[in-house]
Structure 1
Amino acid sequence: MSAVPIPGEPWAAASAGVTVQRGTRANQLALAAGILLLLVAATLPLWGESSWMREFVEIACYFVFAMMWNLLAGYGGMVSIGQQAFFGLGGYAMLALGNFAGMNPFVAVPLGALAAALVALPVSWVAFRLQGGYFAIGTWVIAEVFRLGIANIPAVGGGSGTTLTALRGIGKSTRESVTYWMALACVVACIAGVYLFLRSKQGLALQAIRDNEVAAESQGIAVRRMKLAVYAVAALGAGLAGALYFVGNLRISPDAAFSVNWTAFAIFMVVIGGIGRIEGPIVGALIFWALNKFFSDWGTWYLMGLGLLAIVVTLFFKKGLWGYAQERWGWSLFPTQRRLVG
């Protein structure tokens, strides 16, 4: 727990005994449990089955992508349905560096994410000219432009896609272990990065922009620069998830990489778990993975079930499952708010 005196009259703060609380004992216990779980998870390749590692990589990709969408929309107020553009770009950049530049694909994963972030800078010039629903549809159109463009490049297999051949010289067990460790590192970095950012002044500025851009700008916040930074970071995370996913999948195609289903699934996870909360994508990703693993064979009924679950949650748990638990029992694993306590 960290507490600092409230700015103002020193005698008033001292006499009232009021402090600003930014953490709780439950938060400290959760941190200790998380570190212990991380240490156990890091040893999984030494004793676990390969199928477990593949499942974790899949969950990690879902989670990182959903967390970035939550940062963009839940905290920044920029509702995009075209984040799959950067997911696909990250995957294809990784493949190009591996297959054509002779680079180790695992080294190419972060470089693919960086390439997606760099592409987001000129793309933002077009996207930020749109507002509200037009912004959402515009980002989808941009993603479709990338999909059609990649589908017309024969060097990467065109519309049918291609295989990541750069991993042929690496053994299966080594490949699966390294992919798993990279996925684990990405999850930890994503949670820690978003948490520290939201606790900073820049995080407060972003949430102020989400609530009212005009009021935020009147208080001296550089609105456009902050939105551009968050848009680029969200693209970086989406590109990282895409590069990591296709390193594990070994094959990529435009329809798989740039499918709108990626953003639809991210929205589902964030809404189910709780939008505007770090814990939301974690809960949502676990629920979505479980539903996908055990019920995806049901075909149309599975998709109808996802839709029904989303409707029920939005009607009866308007802040998501974790938001409901937080309001009812005060649960908060990653507190970013500041509370006045006496």
Structure 2
Amino acid sequence: MSAQLVVTRGGTTSRITLALLAFAVIVLAATPWFFGVGGSGRAVALLVYVLLAVMWNALAGFAGLVSIGQTLFFGVAAYTTIRLSNAGLDPYLAILASVAIGAVLGYVTSLFMLSLKDGEFAIGMWVLSSLAHLCVNLDPLIQGETGTSLISLNGYAIETRSSITLWLALVLTLAVLAALFALLRSPTGAAITAVRDDELGARSIGVNVIRTKRIVFVLAATGTAAAGALWLASNLNFQPRAFFGVHWTAYMLFMVLVGGLGRIEGALIGAVLFFVIETFFASYGAWYLVGLGGVAVFFALVLPNGLWGWIGPRLPGEAIPTGYIINKSKT
């Protein structure tokens, strides 16, 4: 009998996870028929949280880029949707155009931001977000912090509007998740991990560090822009403070740190947990925020690697296999 190493990229756990995710997609797609307008709105909120959590995790957990200014893309996408729809473009086409503009903004921003390191990068992103906030306030259409509404969406019946918004949110979320999954399973995914773990070491073996970071940065910008445009479509009202506010950064941090940094599964779990907490406790006002802080402190002390950091090692194989699994087989 001799032992051989067998390399795989999936297994029973990943197949079960895929089945669960497929079931969740079907339930979300059917929400308008079973839960009406209110259910569709909550489903969009969940998908927005998933986008924010997964994209911030892609930056910090996979690429080591800790940003506290992702509201730059969240708020600019919502503002661009308002502007384009006001110019006569169909609001749903305006959403798609805003996502594309978010990707372009991410690329342009990466040209000068990725040269910054650690705290400089984090603060620099916050400064850019604050500048964008100030510029949006100067637009007469927005009326400062008074804001405006995505009026053109009223051209759709409320049932039709809620259904289309949910289905568009589902498609965009799946597209972003698929892009991230494909990226992490590609050779670039290995380069991303190498850059995160040891940037100098990665550069020494020929990894183009800036290009690698840029790929993740632009993807994160695109996903965050999609979240901002979808949040606007679901809520209709645009107030700059509500879209550029630091509370969104706090939500992203909470979801990723509670779910588990550096794993797609952790971001998904964190988003679902945050959604549940918000659904049942948001009406408690300040106590809701205190509770969020308490939960975050609890996880930092008891489960520093998040929920998935505790669950993942206890499962046979990866749930979302982005790496390789090496097993021994006897022959």
Counterpart CA distance in 1 for 2:24 and 2:290 is 34
Match of 1:98 in 2: 85
CA deviation digits over 1:205-226, x for unaligned, max 9?
1111101111111111111111
Counterpart residue identity of residue 294, structure 1? F
**Partners of 1:19 and 1:227 in 2: how far apart?**
31
The one of 8, 14, 21 equivalent to 1:21 is 8
Q: Check whether the contact 2:13–2:316 (CA below 8 A) recurs between aligned residues.
A: no
How many positions carry a matched residue from both structures? 328
Indicate the residue corresponding to 1:299 in structure 2: 285
Paired with 1:131 and 1:208, the residues of 2 have a C-alpha distance of 16
In structure 2, relative to structure 1, the CA distance for the partners of 1:26 and 1:128 (3 Å cut) is closer
Secondary structure in structure 1 of the residue aligned to 2:266: helix
Letter in 2 for 1:231: F
- Superposed, which structure 2 residues align to 1:166-245 within 5 Å? 166-245=152-231
Whether the aligned pair in 2 keeps the contact of 1:208 and 1:216 (CA below 8 Å) is yes
> Aligned to 1:35, which of 10, 18, 22?
22
Structure 1 partner of 2:112: 126
Q: 2:316 and 2:16 mapped to 1: Cα distance?
A: 14
- Match in the other structure for 2:146: 160
Does the alignment pair 1:47 with 2:17?
no
Report the CA distance between 1:180 and its aligned residue.
0.9
Q: Give unmatched runs, 5+ long, in structure 1.
A: 1-14
Amino acid at match of 1:274: G
Q: Which amino acid in the other structure matches residue 307 of structure 2?
A: L
Structure 1 residue 77 corresponds to structure 2 residue 55:
no
**CA–CA distance in structure 2, aligned partners of residues 34 and 120 of structure 1:** 29
CA contact (8 A) 1:325 1:331 kept: no
SS in 2 for 1:156: coil
Cα deviation for residue 91 of structure 1 reads: 0.7
Structure 1 Cα separation of the partners of residues 290 and 30 of structure 2: 38
Contact 1:64 1:186 (8 Å CA) reproduced: no
* Separation of aligned partners in 2, 1:340 and 1:332: 12
* Structure 2 contact 71–243 (Cα < 8 Å) conserved: yes
| 2:271 alignment counterpart | 285
Distance in structure 2 (CA, Å) of the matches to 1:151 and 1:46: 39
Task: Go from structure 1 to structure 2 and tell me whether the alpha carbon gap of 1:305 and 1:43 turns closer, same or farther (over 3 Å shift).
Answer: closer
Give the whole-Å Cα distance in 2 for the aligned partners of 1:30 and 1:315.
28
For the Cα contact (< 8 Å) 2:145–2:241, is it kept in 1?
Answer: yes
Q: Scaled by the length of structure 1, what TM-score is found?
A: 0.91
Shift of 1:75: 0.2
Asked if the contact 1:66–1:285 (Cα under 8 Å) also holds between the matched residues in 2, the reply is yes
Cα distance, 1:131 vs. partner?
1.0
**Is 2:248 the partner of 1:252?**
no
Partner of 2:320: 334
| Identical-pair percentage | 38
